[in-house]
Amino acid sequence: MPGIVVVGAQWGDEGKGKATDQLGDRVDYTVRYSGGNNAGHTLVVNGEKYALHLLPSGILNDSVPVIGNGVVVDLDVLFEEIDGLNARGVDTSKLLVSANAHLITEYHQVMDKVTERFLGNRRIGTTGRGIGPAYSDKINRLGIRVQDLFDASILRQKVAAALEQKNHLLVKVYNRRAIDADQVADALLAHAERLRPMVADVTRVLNDALDRDQVVLFEGAQAHHLDVDHGTYPYVTSSNPIAAGACTGSGVGPMRINRVIGIAKAYTTRVGEGPFPTELLDADGDRLRTDGAEFGTTTGRNRRCGWYDALVVEAAATANAFTDIFLTKLDILSGWEKIPVCVAYDINGERTDRLPMSQSDFHHAVPVYEYLDGWKADISGARTFADLPRNTQAYVRRLEELSGARISGIGVGPSREQVVMINDLL
Ligand code: IMP
Q: Whose CA is nearest to atom 2 of ligand 1?
A: 237
Contact 284, 333 (CB under 8 A): no
Q: Whose CA is nearest to atom 1 of ligand 1?
A: 126
Contact 33, 244 (CB under 8 A): no
Q: How far apart are CA 149 and CA 257, in angstroms?
A: 32
How far, in Å, is the centroid of ligand 1 from the Cα of 197? 30
Q: What is the arithmetic mean of pLDDT over 135-140?
A: 98
Please say if the pLDDT value at position 1 is more than 70.
Answer: no
**pLDDT of 176:** 95
Q: Which residues contact 149 (CB under 8 A, 6 or more apart)?
A: 103, 155, 188, 189, 191, 192, 195
Architecture of domain 3-98+199-261: 3-Layer(aba) Sandwich (3.40)
How far, in Å, is the centroid of ligand 1 from the Cα of 316? 17
Please say if the pLDDT value at position 42 is more than 70.
Answer: yes
Q: What is the arithmetic mean of pLDDT over 395-406?
A: 96
Q: What is the arithmetic mean of pLDDT over 131-135?
A: 97
Please say if the pLDDT value at position 20 is more than 90.
Answer: no
Please say if the pLDDT value at position 46 is more than 90.
Answer: no
**pLDDT of 415:** 85
End-to-end Cα separation, the chain, in angstroms: 11
Please say if the pLDDT value at position 43 is more than 80.
Answer: no
| pLDDT tens, residue by residue, 214-231 | 999 999 999 999 999 999
Please say if the pLDDT value at position 58 is more than 90.
Answer: no
Q: What is the arithmetic mean of pLDDT over 163-171?
A: 96
Q: What is the arithmetic mean of pLDDT over 308-318?
A: 98
How far, in Å, is the centroid of ligand 1 from the Cα of 273? 9
Q: How far apart are CA 268 and CA 294, in angstroms?
A: 10
Q: Is 373 exposed, middle or buried (0-12, 13-18, 19+ CB in 10 A)?
A: middle
Indicate the average pLDDT of the chain: 95
Q: Whose CA is nearest to atom 10 of ligand 1?
A: 272
For the domain bounded by 266-421, which CATH number is listed? 3.90.170.10
How far, in Å, is the centroid of ligand 1 from the Cα of 103? 18
More reliable by pLDDT, 415 or 178: 178
C-beta 226 within 6 A of ligand 1: yes
C-beta 105 within 6 A of ligand 1: no
Q: Which residues contact 258 (CB under 8 A, 6 or more apart)?
A: 1, 2, 3, 4
**pLDDT of 217:** 97
Residue 300: pLDDT band by 50, 70, 90 thresholds? confident
* Helix (H) or strand (E) segment spanning residue 172: none
Q: What is the arithmetic mean of pLDDT over 151-156?
A: 97
| pLDDT tens, residue by residue, 329-385 | 999 999 999 999 999 999 999 999 999 999 999 999 999 999 999 999 999 999 999
Q: Whose CA is nearest to atom 8 of ligand 1?
A: 237
Contact 103, 188 (CB under 8 A): yes
How far, in Å, is the centroid of ligand 1 from the Cα of 392? 31
C-beta 340 within 6 A of ligand 1: no
Q: What is the arithmetic mean of pLDDT over 256-268?
A: 97
- Bridging pattern class, strands 29-32 and 268-270: unpaired
Architecture of domain 102-193: Orthogonal Bundle (1.10)
Q: How far apart are CA 144 and CA 156, in angstroms?
A: 10
Please say if the pLDDT value at position 44 is more than 90.
Answer: no
C-beta 36 within 6 A of ligand 1: no
How far, in Å, is the centroid of ligand 1 from the Cα of 233? 12
- Give, as one character, the DSSP assignment of residue 97: E
Least confident piece of the model among 63-72, 103-112, 376-385, 415-424: 415-424
**pLDDT of 182:** 97
What percent of the chain shows pLDDT beyond 70? 100
Contact 155, 75 (CB under 8 A): no
Amino acid at 93: S
> Which residue ranges make up each domain of the chain?
3-98+199-261, 102-193, 266-421
C-beta 268 within 6 A of ligand 1: no
Q: What is the arithmetic mean of pLDDT over 280-295?
A: 96
Q: What is the arithmetic mean of pLDDT over 237-258?
A: 97
Mutate to test the pocket of ligand 1, among 41, 110, 126 (most ligand atoms within 8 A of CB): 126
Q: How far apart are CA 411 and CA 327, in angstroms?
A: 6
* pTM, rounded to two decimals: 0.95
More reliable by pLDDT, 25 or 192: 192
Is 41 annotated in the active site? yes
C-beta 13 within 6 A of ligand 1: yes
21, 41, 148, 227: the active-site residue = 41
What percent of the chain shows pLDDT beyond 90? 90
Neighbours of 169 (CB within 10 A): 15
Q: How far apart are CA 235 and CA 228, in angstroms?
A: 9
Phi, psi of 219 (to 5 degrees): -100, 110
Residue 17: pLDDT band by 50, 70, 90 thresholds? confident
